[in-house]
Amino acid sequence: MQSKQINAFCLPGGKVVFYTGIIPVCENDGGMATVMGHEIGHALARHGSQRMAQKKIVGIIQQSAAVSLSDMDPNQQRQVMAVLGIGAQFGILLPYSREHESEADHLGVLMMAVAGYDPRYSVTFWQRMAKATGGGKTPEFQSTHPSHETRVRQLEDWQEEALQIYKSSQHQQSSRPLPNR
Ligand SMILES: [Zn+2]
């Protein structure tokens, strides 16, 4: 999707959409695999459907019937748009919780390893993300703040597990393994 935003998201059904803004940050196929893994991780864990409890959705719909969209604060507007399923179309995404972000990172790094990408690329990718987005506004990745440091630290904790998977993966990809740190 053409957009300067440094973001990506997963559509229901599993298609991962990259904003063009995130591609330079990816830098290599290991970076792309990190984003793919992360977004698919959200989808597999069904974070989308958990993000909003049924009750809350009903409440928002009732509210939106009574108040016009333009009278709502931006946060409410986003919720309504997300409920109506048009959020992604406008590049408006609801933030995931911190736990969901961590879970997606974990699933993501394991999946990239299975797919034959060196999981250490996930660490270097998020370090670049930290630089690229430092303080900026990127709806999904940034707003829920598992701080970039936390994210990188957790990913480092998962490296051993992921590297083992990577080494036994039958699908080695073109990304060259990173030199040992
Ligand atoms: Zn995420």
Query: pLDDT tens, 130-145?
Result: 888 765 444 445 445 5
Q: What span, in angstroms and rounded, lies between the C-alpha atoms of 177 and 160? A: 14
For residue 99, the CA-to-ligand 1 centroid distance in Å is 10
Q: Report residue 89's pLDDT band, with 50, 70 and 90 as the boundaries.
A: very low
Residue 34, CA distances (Å) to 59, 67, 82, 125, 141 in order? 36, 41, 25, 7, 13
Question: Which band of pLDDT confidence, cut at 50, 70 and 90, is reported for residue 44?
Answer: confident
Separation between Cα atoms, residue 5 and residue 37, nearest integer Å: 19
- Quickly state the pLDDT bin for 82 (edges 50, 70, 90): low
From the CB of residue 31, how many other CB atoms can be counted at a distance below 10 Å?
23
> 8 by DSSP, 3-state: which?
strand
What distance in Å separates the CA atoms of residue 87 and residue 164, rounded to the nearest whole number? 38
Of 39, 101, 103, 140, the catalytic one is 39
Separation between Cα atoms, residue 110 and residue 117, nearest integer Å: 10
Distance from Cα 65 to the centre of ligand 1, integer Å: 30
Residue 56 φ/ψ region, left for φ over 0, alpha for ψ in the -120 to 50 degree band, beta for the rest? alpha
In this prediction, residue 75 carries a pLDDT of 73
Active site residue 39: yes
Residue 63 CA to ligand 1 centre (angstroms): 28
pLDDT (mean) for 87-103: 68
What whole-number distance in Å separates Cα of residue 142 and Cα of residue 117? 24
Residue 122's nearest CA partner among 134, 136, 112 is 112
Sequence ranges of the domains in the chain = 8-48+98-168, 52-90
Lowest-pLDDT range of 35-39, 144-148, 158-162:
144-148
What is the distance in A from the centroid of ligand 1 to the CA of 98? Answer: 9
